[in-house]
A = this chain, B = another copy of it.
Amino acid sequence: MIERRGMLIIMSGPSGSGKGTLVSRIIAEREDTVLSVSATTRTPRPGELDEVHYFFRTREEFEVLIEQGELLEHAQYNGNYYGTLSAPINKWLAEGKNVVLEIEVQGAEKIMNHRSDLVSLFITVPSMKELERRLRNRGTETEESVMARMLVARLELTRAFRYDYVILNDDLDEAIECINTVIDAENMRYSRMEKYIMDVLGKH
């Protein structure tokens, strides 16, 4: 095996695109890939563990992290902070692990604006009709929330151009294969193979 620094993999997609399932399967299947854990100020739910489900921080601690530039991105929802710590990601990358960051489009764009060493994947549905079908099939969404999610999905799709790759999630196994193909191909990029070329040339 060729030794390389890991890659930061950003995955976004509308609610109903199935990105959560895809992320779980990729993490489970690939030994070289781990999931980024978010930081938050919200209270842990029963069974949630610090550093496993979230990095649980107090509001004061979180604000220090923001001030010190320790977060790749952050946002507030329902009065709580959520964000992505740089340090654990950089540690994994240095150890040669790929890190998957499942994140909504706005957070993803913030990271893309500040970091170039990443691979970004936008998960899409085959059609808006299929998205609507999936949202209704959940059985937990009200008419209003289905309509709201459809509207947000359209907005998110218009930002797909910011991403390196588009993964169509029509068939789950095919989508997993596509994501694996992208990760494997990115490992062959010149920038990731440069050390190997230097070795062949005898330049250490």
Contacts and interface: CB of A to CB of B under 8 A. Distances in A.
A193 interface: yes
Contact of A189 (B126, B158, B165, B190): B165
A197 B165 contact: no
B166 A197 contact: yes
A157 interface: yes
B168 A189 contact: no
A161 interface: yes
A197 B164 CA distance: 13
Given A160-B190, A182-B188, A185-B184, A166 B196 contact: yes
Interface in A151-204: 154, 157-158, 160-161, 163-168, 178, 181-182, 184-186, 188-190, 193-194, 196-197, 199-202
A190 B139 CA distance: 32
A66 interface: no
Nearest to A130: B200
A194 to B, nearest CB: 7
Given A157-B201, A197-B157, A190 B122 contact: yes
Contacts of A184: 178, 181, 185
Given A182-B185, A184-B185, A127 B200 contact: yes
Interface in A26-82: none
A204 B45 CA distance: 46
A128 interface: yes
A168 B185 contact: no
A182 B184 CA distance: 8
Contact of A188 (B125, B127, B166, B196): B166
A42 to B, nearest CB: 33
